[in-house]
Structures are given as structure tokens and as C-alpha cells.
Structure 1
Amino acid sequence: MLEQFQNYEEHISKAIDWVWKLVPNIILAILLLVVGLWFVRLINKMVRKFFDKKDYDPTLESFLQSFISIVLKVLLFVLVVTQLGVKTSSLIAIIGAAGLAIGLALQGSLSNFAGGVLILLFKPFKIGDWISAQGVDGSVKEISIFNTKLNTFGNQLAIVPNGQLANGNIVNYSAEPIRRDNYTVGIGYGSNIKKAKDILLELCADDERILKEPKPEVYVAELADSSVNLSLRWWAKNENFWGAKFNLIEQSKLKFDEAGIEIPFPQRVIHSQEIED
């Protein structure tokens, strides 16, 4: 019994000695973590100031800032763990094994990272562009390592994974300086087609936001069931497009009313017949 008690006492003494040896490392690791996080924030702040002074692509700036921040935090984690007494060789082996496991578990995140790199390299869009992708329309607000943030028309924030963006269809409405619209309006079969076409072209000529070159054109697009559909094709700069479009819709209705040109709408005619007894 005495020998067993001495063994317990010896183990407890070794444990206390080990703790006392480890306490300084724990304190240093905590200090290293606090100072390291402050240093990471300082570096990130310096990087932002550097990019603010230089005329770089905002897309590249956003991506590099996110990437630098993550790399610095990973390095800080390695330093802190090493300070706790974990050997570098053992740490590398652990990181390798963990990296394989995490890579298999986070295939989607790795795909998003690769998608972010592809977006950065091929630049299908940049910050400020209005795009349509993955069922979302919005202005590109930020491109980070794993996802892209869009500001929608209703001022909501939409977050789209970069992997889906890089592998899906993207419509970039801001890629070209001017846009074309096909405005279709139906008139009655009894209305004067030439007069309606002249009114639409006059509206284009009177609106300074609609470009005169390429020249606006109007055609009979379809002889529908209850209307003759006219297609007006016109161009405008991106910043003037929506204002010109809404004004054209409103003014065409007013001018057609003044000219007595009917814009048909669905109607149902019901005939009643009396049945004699």
C-alpha cells in the first residue's frame, strides 16, 4: 500500500512539474495570440491604405485583402501552437492530415476558392457592374475569396458562391457602354400602322437619352389574335437606359390616345339567347 501511495505521489509530482513548465508557454502563447491579432489588423489596415493610394482594380483589391488576412491568421495559428511545445515536424504532419480531411469535407469551399481565382483572372465582371447570375440580379458590391456579394434592385444583399458563378451563366449588363431594348406595343387592327410607327420614332427623336446612332427602328413584329404588335428597337447609354425606357412607355400611351390609336386589351363578349318554352 505504501509503495502504491508513493507511485501516486510521484505521478502527481511529475504532473505538477509539467504544468509549471507549461504555464510560461501558455502565457507566452496567449501574449503571442493577442499581439499577433493586433499585428494582423495593422497589416490589413496598411494593405487597405496602400490600395487606396494606388489605382488598382477594386476586384483585385478586395480579393487580395481577404487572401492576405486568411494567410496571416493561419501563420499566427502555427506560431501559437508551436509556442505551446508542439514540434514543427509533428505540426506539419497534423496539418497535412487535417488538410486532407478538411479538403474532403470542404470540397464546396475549395471550389468556391478556385472560382474566386478564376473570376479574378478572367474578370467576367468587376465591382460596380450590374449582373444577372444564379437567378439573382444586382450590382456587384464585393468579391471575396469564397463568395461574391450583390446589391439587388430592392437594396437587399445577395451572397452568391464563387464556384457557382465561375461555372454558371453570367449576364453582365455593364460590360458594354450602351444597351439596346426591344419595346413591343400592340395596336388595334383598325389603327393606322404608319402613324403609330411615326409616333414611336418621334418619341425617340425627342428624347435626348435615346441615341440617334445606332438609329432607332420600328417593325411590325407580329399579327397577333387581337393586335398588331410593333417592335421598337432603340439604344441608350447604361446610365440613361431605365429613365428612357419608362418615359417611352408612358409617352407612347399618351401619344397613341391623342392620335386615336387603340391599344387593345383582352375582352370577352358574352351573347345571351332566350329559349322559348
Structure 2
Amino acid sequence: MQTKIYQIDAFTNELFRGNPAAVMPLQHWLPDTLLQAIAAENNLSETAFLVATPEMEVTDFHIRWFTPAAEVPLCGHATLASASVVFNQLKWPQDIVRFQSKSGPLAVLRKQHGWLELDFPNLSYKRCQMPPLITEALAGAPDEAFFVPNDTNYMVIMNSETAVRSVTPDLRKLALLGNQGLIVTAEGDQCDFVSRYFAPGAGIDEDPVTGSIHSVLTPYWAQHLGKTNLQARQLSARGGELHCELKGDRVAISGQTVFFMEGSVQLPSG
């Protein structure tokens, strides 16, 4: 049995920048072991799987995301990529597509000039002592961190964009955090804030652009900077640009996408 697969560069308007994601629309759910094997074979930071939900009034598709090593509860760039596929390759007639996910309902709005706006939850965070593993793995780490219970990430605030750009964490030690990832962020020089994201325990050494972490970065920097509309950059080698807006208990995260590839996957029979 064959099924379509697409690859989209998200949070960029240039090919080979931003964050590549695989998107696979399915007729029905496959076994989890097979979904995980496909994601591992793709070897991208995330593969998104979609199943249409015509029987439901409040959602259009059920979406799930897998890294090469594990399923994750929330992923921004692969949701952006999925919406791009729905709008452009599947010829979705409306300007909004609604997904049901492990993090609840998510919507993506098609806007002008190729911009897509994610409607994501506002994720809470709490101050905590810096875990010893992070202190050992990250030179110059401060004494305190923030913990994000929803997706079990830690967030570390650095004193400058230069510090964020230059961090070289010990990925072997960070991998011992398991599925927990590390967000490193600071106020930006030419934008409101910058970040990088590392999650080697989930199969992602450094994610090029991570939409989901902006569900916590946006409320943090909105409070710190006293503004609700923010421009953000993720400082990976590929780099990415995001516009973020705090809307009460929701966060709007906007970006562009570039189509790269369409193909087919030969699924095992039986």
C-alpha cells in the first residue's frame, strides 16, 4: 500500500531554511509502532500524520507528531507544514483548518502573502533550581531556570543574543534529561527575543525552528518587555522568523512555508 508524503520548510520564505517537516495524510490510523518507524526513517525533527475527521463538527483533522525517537504532545513547525499541505496540496477551500491534538484543539488561519497563523495554547512556566545536568551541560548557565510542565521543557534565560548564539551544550549530558528539552533564550538585538532549542533525548540534537516553544516564550517575553506583539528569531544554522502575539490564554504564532518535495511511501502489507 502506498500513501503520499510531503516535505515542507516551515517558518521561512526561502528553500533550505527554516525547519523541514514531513507530512503524511492518512485514510485511517496506522499502528503506533509503524508511525514511529516512519518518523525514524524520515529522520527529520518531526513527521506529522493527519487523518480527516468529517464526522466531527469542531475539527477537520486529527494530527499527531513524531520525532525520530518519540511521539510529542505539541509541535508548531510540523503543524504549520501540515496546514500548508492541507491548503495547497489538498486544495482545502476554507481559510482556516482545525486540528484535534494531544494538546487540545489547534487552528491555523491562512493570511495574506503566504503567512499562516497558528492558534496555540499559552503554556505556563514556573521558576526552579537549575538541574545539575543542565549546569554540567551548559557553560555559563545561570543559577535558576524555568520549567514548563505541559511539555516538560526547561527554559534558561541568557544575558544577550550573543550568549544564545554561542552556546555549545554537551548533548550527551542533555540526552540524560530524556524527552525533556532545553530552551535557551535572550532579548534580541534586532528583534524582541531570540532562542535555540535542544532535545537530544527525544532524537533532536538542535531543532532548527520550534513553533511550540513560542507558546511559553511569548508569554514570558510579553511580560518581561511589556508588549503583546513580538518578533522572534530562532538562531539555529538554518534559522527562522516568527511573529508572536499573546492573546489571553492563547498564543498566535505566525510564519511562512516553502514547498520542497512530494512523494509516496510504500507501507508494509498486513
What interval of TM-score do these two structures reach, taking the shorter chain for normalisation?
under 0.3
TM-score w.r.t. structure 2 length?
A: 0.22
Larger relative contact order, structure 1 or 2 (CA cutoff 8 Å, min sep 6): 2
More strand per residue: 2
From the CA coordinates, give the structure whose radius of gyration is larger.
Answer: 1
